[in-house]
Structure 1
Amino acid sequence: MTDLVITRIFDAPRHLVYRAFTDPDQLAAWFGPIGWTVPRDTVDMDVQVGGHQRFTMINDEDPSQTSPANGTYVEVIENELLVGEESVAHIPAFGTDVMRLRLEFFDEDGGRTRLVLTQGPFPEQWASGAREGWGSSFTKLDKVLA
C-alpha cells in the first residue's frame, strides 16, 4: 500500500484553485481524466466538517461505465485545506476500508498556487493510474482557470 503525493503549480490565485474543488459548477467543468465527464446534475457538495461531496464520473465513449464518488469532509479550512474520506470497503482489491484525500493550497509568487495532493492508501499497482488520472484532470483544470 502506498500514498500518492502530487505537487502542482497552477497559474491562478489560491482562492480560485480552492473554489475549483468546492464549487459544484466548477468541479463539473474539469474533474475527471480526459475521456470522462462529471455531469453537473450528479454533483452534490456540503463543504464543511461532516459534510459530503458526491458526484459520478461517466465515460464519454461508453456512458454505461461510471465511477461514483461519495466522500465526507473531515477537515476544512477555507482556501487552505480540504481533507475527505471515502469508504472503499466495497472494493476488495484496496485492502483497506477508507481512502483519504488531502488537498493543501499554498500561495506562490506571481499570484500562482501550489497544490499538494495526498491520496491513499492505494494498492501499489493502482497508484500510477491514479497519478495519470489526476494529471489528466489537472490539464482540464488549467483550462478552466485560464
Structure 2
Amino acid sequence: MKKPLKEDFRSHCAVNYGVEIFGDRWSLLIIRDIIFVGKKTYGDFLKSEEGIATNVLASRLAFLEEQGVLSKAPSPDDRRKDFYTLTEKGLDLIPIVINIVLWSAKHDSKSYVRRREEFVARLSQDPMRVSEEVKALVRNGGCIFPEGGG
C-alpha cells in the first residue's frame, strides 16, 4: 500500500491530515513501541506481538521518516543498524497516544495497561502533565516502561 505524499492528501481537513500521517494501525504501533518500551531498531519493531510483516514495517518506517515523524541515524554501537527516534513532530503525538491509552483502559477489560493502575490513575488525573513528562523522557532517549510491557 503506497502512502500518499504530503501533496497527495485527500483533503486539507485537520482530521484527515492526522489520519493520513499516523492513522493506520502499524504507524501508531511503531510510535507506541518507541514511547512505551523504547524500541529503536527495525529488529526491535519486528518483534512486536502484533506480527508486522517485514515489507509493511519497512514501508511504515520510511513513510514516517519522510513525513518528519521519525528520524533515522546509524547506531553508535553498530553502524549496520539504524536507530529510529521521534522528531519534535512525532513527540507531539504523545498526548494523542496517551488519550488512546486512557480510552482503552476504560473500554477494554483485557487491556495490558490496566495492570499499571498507578500509571492509569496519574493519566486520568492530569493527562496533559503526564504527556509533557513523557515527551521530555522520550526526547532524552527514555521510555515509559523500560522493563517492557504496556
Q: TM-score range by the shorter chain?
A: under 0.3
Larger RCO, structure (CA 8 Å, separation 6 or more): 1
Give TM-score, length-normalised by structure 2: 0.27
- Higher-Rg structure is 2
Give TM-score, length-normalised by structure 1: 0.28
Of Structure 1 and Structure 2, the greater strand share is in: 1
Of Structure 1 and Structure 2, the greater helix share is in: 2
